[in-house]
Structure 1
Amino acid sequence: MYLYQQFFRAFGNYKFTMIPNAIEVLFDERERPVPFLSQIFNPLFGGILGVSCAIFVNFVSKKPILSGIQKHIIFGAVGLGAGKFFDGIRNEELAKRDAVMRHYIQLHPEDFPMPEGKKYKELLTPWVPVR
């Protein structure tokens, strides 16, 4: 008996049960940790962009690239602040979008039925060796 036949015999009628419906996803009360990189990406990118702008200004004015280090520090700090500001705006917009989605799902739960589980044998095709 082939391995895939053993697999279908053992798991062919097993249904996926990890498919959540929309209500479970949006109303989950667990605290999700914010990924580290998403916390620092926008401020870091803004700071790097600010320092790059200072380098570009020096390059265009035909000065040494790293001259006027205070300009690099100021541009980097402004870029860091701008990145933090735009990150906050983005988080507010995403929170508003989620609130609108939650409200719509609360008002129209019939539009979001529980997805039916699929069996492994419906998803996997028989394996045919090519020699």
Structure 2
Amino acid sequence: MADSTRVSEKELERREGFIRAGRRERHLIDPFTWSYPWKGAGAMLGISVAALYLQNRWNKKPYYYAIVPRLILVGAATAVGYAAGALREKHYQTRDAVIEHYMQLHPEDFDHFNDRSGRSFSQVLLPWYPRRTQYTRYD
């Protein structure tokens, strides 16, 4: 490959660290940096509050109508969202651990990932042999 397409090892490490979940710096304003449990809790909180507002508007009730039971329901929905996010995070951690373990057991299957500069298309693409109907013999 051309030298212009090669990237330094330091830059590759920076990109990998930026892409991986849980490795970015947390910001309260940016929900994309939150962990999965907090994303789930925030989403359920937002959906619950929006649903309460729309129901009150539809039924022409004031915002404080049945506020205590509704706040309890919002809290329960937020807890369910947090639990769903925690379950999702556990699933992804288990999946990554299984993949890493498989890669440790079979390193010969993953040698092509060590060349970070990439392979040429001649090494990637399989040869193509056309089979046309006008040919009667297949050799």
Tell me the TM-score range normalised by the shorter chain.
Answer: 0.5 to 0.7
1:87 to 51, 69, 85: 85
Cα distance 1:59–1:102, how it changes in 2: closer, same or farther (>3 A)?
Answer: same
Q: CA separation in 2, counterparts of 1:116 and 1:68?
A: 60
Q: CA separation in 1, counterparts of 2:99 and 2:70?
A: 43
Asked whether the equivalents of residues 50 and 79 of structure 1 are also in contact (C-alpha less than 8 Å), the reply is yes
Cα distance 1:86–1:65, how it changes in 2: closer, same or farther (>3 A)?
Answer: farther
Relative contact order higher in (CA < 8 Å, ≥ 6 apart): 1
Asked whether the equivalents of residues 45 and 78 of structure 2 are also in contact (C-alpha less than 8 Å), the reply is yes
Q: Residue 89 of structure 2 aligns to which amino acid in structure 1?
A: N
Cα distance 1:115–1:74, how it changes in 2: closer, same or farther (>3 A)?
Answer: same
Asked whether the equivalents of residues 15 and 117 of structure 1 are also in contact (C-alpha less than 8 Å), the reply is yes
Superposed CA RMSD = 3.1
Instruction: State the identity %.
Output: 21
Asked whether the equivalents of residues 51 and 76 of structure 1 are also in contact (C-alpha less than 8 Å), the reply is yes
TM norm structure 1: 0.57
Aligned: 1:16 with 2:7: yes
Asked whether the equivalents of residues 44 and 77 of structure 2 are also in contact (C-alpha less than 8 Å), the reply is yes
Q: Residue 64 of structure 1 aligns to which amino acid in structure 2?
A: K
Gaps in structure 1 of 5+ consecutive residues: 1-10, 26-30, 119-131
Asked whether the equivalents of residues 39 and 82 of structure 2 are also in contact (C-alpha less than 8 Å), the reply is no
Cα distance 1:65–1:105, how it changes in 2: closer, same or farther (>3 A)?
Answer: farther
Partner of 2:41: 43
Alignment coverage as a number of residue pairs: 98
Cα distance 1:65–1:100, how it changes in 2: closer, same or farther (>3 A)?
Answer: farther
Gaps in structure 2 of 5+ consecutive residues: 17-21, 119-139
1:69 to 64, 67, 89: 67
Q: CA separation in 1, counterparts of 2:50 and 2:73?
A: 9
Q: CA separation in 1, counterparts of 2:5 and 2:91?
A: 41
TM norm structure 2: 0.55
Deviation at 1:93, TM superposition (A): 0.2
